[in-house]
Amino acid sequence: MLSFQYTDNKLIAFKKGNLYLNLHKKTLYRPLQYDGLSFPSFIFGISITIMKRLLIAFAFIFLFVTAVAQVKTPRQLFKDLFEAVQISDIFPDNKTFVDATPKRDPELIMKDYEEQKNKPGFDLMHFVYDNFSIPGPPQTIFKTDIKEGIRKHIDTLWKVLYRRHDTISKYSSLLPVPNDFIIPGGRFRETYYWDSYFTMLGLQQSNRTQIIRDMIGNFAYLLDKYGFIPNGTRTYYLTRSQPPFFSMMLDLLAKDDGEHVIVKYQPELLKEYAFWMRGSEGLKPGQAYRNSVRMHDGELLNRYWDESDQPREESYKKDVNAAKLTKQKLGDFYRNIRAAAESGWDFSTRWMDTTGKLETIRTTFIIPVDLNCLLYHLELSIAKSYQLQGNGPQYRVYLAKALARKKAILKYSWSAKDGWFMDYNWKERRFSPHKTLAGTYPLEFKIASAAQAAEVAGRLKADFLKPGGLVTTFERSGQQWDSPNAWAPLQYMAIEGLNQYGESGLARQIAERWITINLKVFNDTGKLMEKYNVVDTDAKAGGGEYPLQDGFGWTNGVLLNLLNRYHTDQQ
């Protein structure tokens, strides 16, 4: 809450959280917290002129903070009722309740709950069904005729996964957006950030450019309203983002609409960048703040982070139970869990120690190679937007940022010993012990040298390539972002990266194996899946926190893109 202090009807101070600005004494108080270091509150004197400028700057910050704070999540709205439902087994999937729509004012629901919960015969399930509209199972009306082929199936799926923007109930956890959109499918009933880029790859192939424009418009709206693009368009996702593909989306749209879209969305590109770089300017070597890390030699790189240190609302029971096994402080454990959710790789041994156990998760220690490649692209996109405007000085500023990041990625992520681009543990100052398919991102963004790309291609063929495509990691942990599972976005990024360095033969081989397993499962089930088992192509993918989902936005998008690119009709 933002509070003001007045004397004789004159504003003399205001306070937001732990930040206190005294206009009368011309002092600003703020405790600074960095990873591994705590600084006591400090005071410094500033002039009235600077004070006025600070007031304006802080006003913008507070508007952003207040905009997010005013949106209440299901846990904030329903408190004890939320916990009772999520800990119970009323719904096997905790996402069901947080996606349910209250039938009336939440305050009235809570009033009745408090009055009834301790009475004899109270039935929690009946109370929930009486007061909430529960989301049903994924749409089952759509029945495919396999004989009509995969392209017809995907074309129909766009209609099945299409959602109108103006159908949100007043009390829903859905975040309103101005345009219609495509959802992934299954239990995922809302827009997801990085999913959408790979979905757009297929929408473009289907000549559905308008829905791409609409979805980019939604993301721009979210950046303008909240200062970042949430993980998904739900209130309970407003503490984190996802891999920053917004600039990649603009590149995609520019193929149809021209490069002016990069200039059009320059303000939102800058807001995206500001979100990921918050607090980076004041960092000293070896310090981190939110998503930014100042490496020990002074370079700036980024990590995944979440503003909350509480269990995820959509996986509340699983997080609470998992926390019973960890040796970490509960807040640190929950933050690491949430940070992994921001990565999209929830979960993988990638974020864990050598045991690969979830209780050892330490996402905030990791400098992910893929995240920093995406931010390199974002910096280049901002530079290009200024170049297109003829703004040379700002073009050079962001180009310099991109080149500095490229140099840092090569320094901290390339392992000559492994012949692979690795994540880097900035706390322990060493490479992560896990090789993952994220190591192909430096090829997609032309960061790797020709020799490095050749080594990566060799490792891909020798170690990662399986009968159905590229496996995500080598560990069989039971987590869904580990072996034997494979995912459409990672296949696409690897294929694209290989083509950047003339490794077209291997790129085609990967594409054809991926297409083959997609079509095999489609011909067996009439469905396209969220992920695939590429080691044993006769078995389903599995692991993770929920059953295998079908739909599926990014699978459809990548598959159609590859089918058209490689002119493959194995159906």
Active site residue 346: yes
Query: Contacts for 60-63 with beta carbons within 8 Å, 24 or more apart?
Result: 61/16, 62/2, 62/16
> In this structure, what are the phi and psi dihedrals at residue 436, rounded to the nearest 5 degrees?
-135, 165
> Cβ(520)–Cβ(513) under 8 Å?
no
322 vs 359: CA distance, rounded Å: 7
Question: In a 3-state reduction of DSSP, which class is residue 144?
Answer: coil
Residue 431's identity, in one-letter code, is F
Report the C-alpha gap between 349 and 377 in whole angstroms: 26
- How far is Cα 238 from Cα 398, in angstroms, rounded to an integer? 28
Q: How many Å apart are CA 295 and CA 407, to the nearest integer? A: 13
Q: Assess whether 530 carries a catalytic annotation.
A: yes
Report which of 529, 563, 527, 523 is spatially closest to residue 544, judged by C-alpha positions. Answer: 529
Of 346, 370, 444, 503, the active-site residue reads 346
The active-site residue, picked from 268, 444, 503, 530, is 530
What's the sign of the alpha-carbon dihedral 539, 543, 548, 554? negative
Long-range contacts: 536-542, Cβ < 8 Å, 24+? 536/484, 537/467, 537/468, 539/484, 541/480, 541/484, 541/485, 541/486, 542/480, 542/485
Comparing CA positions, the residue from 278, 247, 292, 254 lying closest to residue 382 is 247
The string of DSSP letters for 260-273 reads: HHHHHTHHHHHHHH
Q: Annotated catalytic sites, by residue?
A: 346, 530
